[in-house]
Structure 1
């Protein structure tokens, strides 16, 4: 009888479900992709139904169910924190307690109740700790027999950073940092102070940081004040936050805005306020401090374990700039980063921890990608696609065999069209990796602004990532290796850089500087968040880039997620069509079907 393990994460943000069968990762997906509520925290009923269907498994055939953290430990932390800071935070305490006393103290009963609705019998639930789930998601899918494991996020139960050692099928936690002294929450506080949304806007801070003026006295002052007043950093990477500047432990906000304004001579930005150079300099300073701490922690992890391999997870592992700096450590040989590094990946980690630790199953690391390129979500056949798009009476579409499909799509990209690309199984994690993507010509200097303003409807300062043929990555970028999950930021090769443009003084106008021969994917600091595309993990996407290379000489495209601002990445063909209709995308490719916008008057059914 097969051992079928369901992993669940829920009730904070990015709820998800993952299923492994006899140790093999079969399916994983976030609830937001089905509910269409970004970062949806609810019990992932839709995601659970999907992973079971993908595996052809009935609820009664699931042998183990694991939840990604220990809720009672989290409640303990909540009580002890309020007690330690009392009477400060009484308002927040009074708001939180009824929810905990009504529902969250009875997690086991609540989860079983939700599972019963889906047809599960009363189940024995396992509750690995939050950071063990992160560590398991990082180490077990990695190609390493043994490795140091570093997990960093906002907070789990008590821990917000752990250093562990993985060997064989076991993980041993060696060191941890506890709440409230959290690097993830520090960066979230900066996110909040700069006017972005916590738990979803942190990557905007990373993008904004590139516009910071490293040599400006203001920037240096920001770094100095953060390091001297906000964070006391130790040599091993551990640190203490000055809690006079933070409110997340006791209030419903992140920062003590008055104290931050006094220290930095900068008011908290409201979402509607325009960004300026001072905001960029502040983001740069925060990013520099984060990188300093992460590098120290990575070095400590390697020193404590004696390993030359490093596996990463936790929300901070999505910071591609910091990840690239880690790769430069002399003691490091190889690094592997979980693509669903945030809480959604905790569902997968909980299932894997159950298989290897609770059931003590033997582990043989796979040299090929056991995450299967992170293509673990729903896929749709051409028959299902055709059935759906026929419901749109005014939608003109045409079926192409693969060779013609790729040639036509490559021709469209090279001629300056924006392409919605919907293929195969949906990605697990926050990045679109070539199956639910919007594509454009990386060589076109107008393409970044066009996609930002006419398709994504988002902030113009945010960069786009390139997808590049794995075998060509070192031609364009200072990267000797691979970056399959778009989690490394590296500089463009000097030979492609352009220094001939007139540098703009205005903060936003700098977007239009043509900084390289691939300007649409070259950020203002000459970097790019790279995805290398492998023939082994995504053959059709690789073939598309190859077709583009045959036509233009360059197998590289802009790749951004198939969605508009504040919506989840599309999951189904219908969602792809609806997104296509309400944006200025030029071409939609659904499986083997092409739809050109200029050929029809388009009305949704």
Structure 2
């Protein structure tokens, strides 16, 4: 049985395909169109999924969508009516989109899928195409937003039963939900509804600090260690009322997101004595303290929610999904609180993962198929390597088309030896290998990698390669079997979703003079033997690398350890500011040539910057993705 899942029309659209219980493919549309967080119908992602499975669209048994548009429309109408006449401008902007596409989603999906079918089968008659469109009508199923999130967290997990927390901005009505999963069923127990939302509170602070909503939240989390939670009590006094069970209520007079075009209100600005920070202006200590404060609030709510989930469900396991589940600092606090024996987090926890959750929800919950758990598997996600890979012939054809200077290495051992030497010599390496990752993290298949021991590597990569703020941290990729020698962690963290302290014996004590420094002044102080991945609070966002799911990357780090004694390297996503993570060999070469990266490795091809010809980027980045 094949089930195709679709997430679209809000942000970060995606497609996912399963064959019975097995995930065949999953990818975000942005990777193909090169439009960050592309919300359009995931035409290219769907075509990729079908190609990977070697099936036609007509062979798909069910097509699922990750939420219910009528419920979402109901929420919008009720919100606008309750706030009228406020929000008329926002109402007038949103209604045409809804009335054209979103409300009549079944017809919209039918039209889009018919176009794909026609494109892939150009010789079909109009009669045959109409018959296909009619067949589609029997295949559609729609799941609720938080149902899709919860399913994406529980069903691929290694647990027979689990408490499930879904925390995000908003779905149809729910913003936070508690469910219990057992075998092939999920039961929803409690929820918090819009407009009260932890995700939207975090986004409101993101907006106020001057970062972009739905993408700048990572920056807020990265900025938080540079500040103190000075505003946390002020927020709890005026903005958010947190109960002991983790439920909460926002004072909506401080916000404008229900009907307005901004996140925060004038009352919010008066509370913090200033309007929102201008984008790209200098970050001050105030922004750092605000980031620290909303992070502290988030951690408090998540810990209380988790304790209540344990009390209600009695399970020893916890699964997490929703955008807030990507807050790896909070996840680390949850782990250290020892509320649950085990925690599993969906690597595509945001809306992109909804496509995957929707297919699993249909397969298990609606069709009542038996859920099998393989004790030899870490989970069902295949390391999250669910995207496209490219043949040697295709890579070579592209490199030749731009007259690239490259060397093809036949033996993997030789390749690993060359690249580990480059890392040891503090070269920055673009590492493109095999299938692309699903979700927002680069996990060693579309990564920029470097020597974690380098004191200047963090600022070098941020400024000269990523073209982004210097404070943005990198993650350590560490051998799973060596993680406890370097970090205060002894569990799997394959998806870079847990933060833990660096081992004390690897850390350096600060001098009295250094301890007096404030904010970004703290950035250039080496805090450990691996300064490129050590945050200023001595923590790190850890990716454990497993030889079973990530064999070549594991071999590379092992060889690097053999040469240096260090079992960890620095890893950041292979992209530049404002662009999605790379997908194709062309994307990787372009990123390589646009930056001050030293070496590029695409599967078995090695390229050195100084040997490349002058590069002129001629691609129209709105072009469709070309499949093999």
Q: Give the structure-1-normalised TM-score.
A: 0.97
Distance 1:366 1:44 in 2: 31
Distance 1:401 1:71 in 2: 52
Q: Which residue of 1 aligns with 2:626?
A: none
Q: Which residue of 2 aligns with 1:546?
A: 558
2:86 is the counterpart of 1:88: yes
1:341 has 2:353 as partner? no
Q: Which of 68, 71, 82 does residue 70 from structure 1 map onto? A: 68
Q: Where do residues 283-362 of structure 1 align in structure 2 (5 Å cutoff)?
A: 283-362=291-370
1:44 Cα offset (Å): 0.2
2:558 & 2:457 partners in 1: Cα distance?
20
- The match for 2:465 among 447, 455, 458 is 455
User: Helix, strand or coil for the counterpart of 1:103?
Assistant: helix
Deviation of 1:293 (Å): 0.5
Counterpart secondary structure, 2:202: helix
Question: Is the CA contact 2:168–2:324 (under 8 Å) kept in the aligned structure 1?
Answer: yes
Note if 1:372 corresponds to 2:382: yes
Tell me if the contact between 2:11 and 2:39 (Cα under 8 Å) persists in the aligned partners.
yes
Does structure 2 conserve the Cα–Cα contact (< 8 Å) formed by 1:164 and 1:174?
A: yes
Q: CA deviation at 1:394?
A: 4.6
Corresponding residue number in structure 1 for 2:122: none
| d(CA) in 2 for partners of 1:500, 1:269 | 32
Corresponding residue for residue 432 of structure 1: 442
1:387-398 → structure 2 map (5 Å cutoff): 387-398=397-408
Instruction: Work out whether residues 395 and 602 of structure 1, in 8 Å CA contact, stay in contact via their aligned partners in 2.
Output: no
Within a 5 Å distance, the mapping from 1:476-515 to structure 2 comes to 476-500=486-510, 502-503=513-514, 505-515=517-527
**Matching residue of 1:596:** 608
**Cα distance in 2 for residues equivalent to 1:21 and 1:118:** 20
Give me the whole-angstrom Cα distance separating, in 2, the residues matched to 1:69 and 1:180: 18
Superposed CA RMSD in Å reads: 1.2
Distance in structure 1 (CA, Å) of the matches to 2:50 and 2:469:
38
**Where does the alignment leave 5 or more consecutive residues of structure 1 unmatched?**
none
Q: Contact 1:299/1:329 (CA < 8 Å) preserved in 2? A: no
Superposed CA deviations along residues 486-527 of structure 1, whole A, max 9, x for unmatched, are 000111111011114552625323210111110000011111
Shift, 1:69, TM fit: 0.2
Q: Residue in 2 aligned with 1:524?
A: 536
Is it true that 1:237 corresponds to 2:246 in the alignment? yes
Structure 1 residue matching 2:434: 3-state secondary structure = coil
8 Å CA contact 1:8–1:15 kept in 2: the answer is: yes
CA distance in 1, matches of 2:365, 2:170: 23
Q: Deviations over 1:374-418 (max 9, x none)?
A: 000001122321122111225343434111100010000010100
Cα deviation digits, residues 446-498 of structure 1 (max 9, x gap): 11111001100000111111100001111111112111000001111110111
> 3-state DSSP class of the match of 1:92?
helix
CA contact (8 A) 1:394 1:603 kept: no
Q: What secondary structure is seen at the aligned counterpart in 2 of 1:293?
A: helix
Deviations 1:31-75 (A, max 9, x none): 000000000000000000000100111111000000000000000
1:141 aligns with 2:156: yes
Question: Could you tell me how far 1:361 is from its partner in structure 2?
Answer: 0.3
Matched, 1:445 2:452: no
Tell me, what secondary structure is at the counterpart of 1:148? strand
- 1:38 has 2:36 as partner: yes
**1-side partners of 2:45 and 2:269: how far apart?**
43
Q: Is the aligned partner of 1:270 residue 2:278?
A: yes
Distance 1:535 1:102 in 2: 49
Whether 1:111 and 2:126 are equivalent positions in the alignment is no
Q: 1:225 aligns with which of 223, 228, 234?
A: 234
1:182 has 2:191 as partner: no
Of 87-96 and 437-446, the range deviating more from structure 2: 87-96
Structure-2 separation of matches of 1:103 and 1:500: 57
* Contact 2:184 2:368 (C-alpha < 8 Å) held by counterparts: yes
Map of 1:563 onto structure 2: 575
Give the Cα–Cα distance (whole angstroms) in 2 for the partners of residues 375 and 302 of structure 1: 31
Instruction: From 144, 157, 179, give the equivalent of 1:129.
Output: 144
Distance 1:330 1:547 in 2: 34
Residue 431 of structure 2 corresponds to which residue in structure 1?
421
In the TM superposition, what whole-angstrom CA distance separates every residue of 1:321-348 from its partner, at most 9, and x where no partner exists? 1101111234311000000000000000
Report if aligned partners of 2:466, 2:576 keep a CA contact under 8 Å in 1. Answer: yes
Corresponding position of 1:54: 52
Tell me, yes or no, if structure 1 residue 579 matches structure 2 residue 591.
yes
What does residue range 458-477 of structure 1 map to in structure 2 within 5 Å? 458-477=468-487
| CA distance in 1 between partners of 2:521 and 2:464 (Å) | 17
- Give the number of aligned pairs: 596
> C-alpha separation between the residues in 1 aligned to 2:615 and 2:374?
47
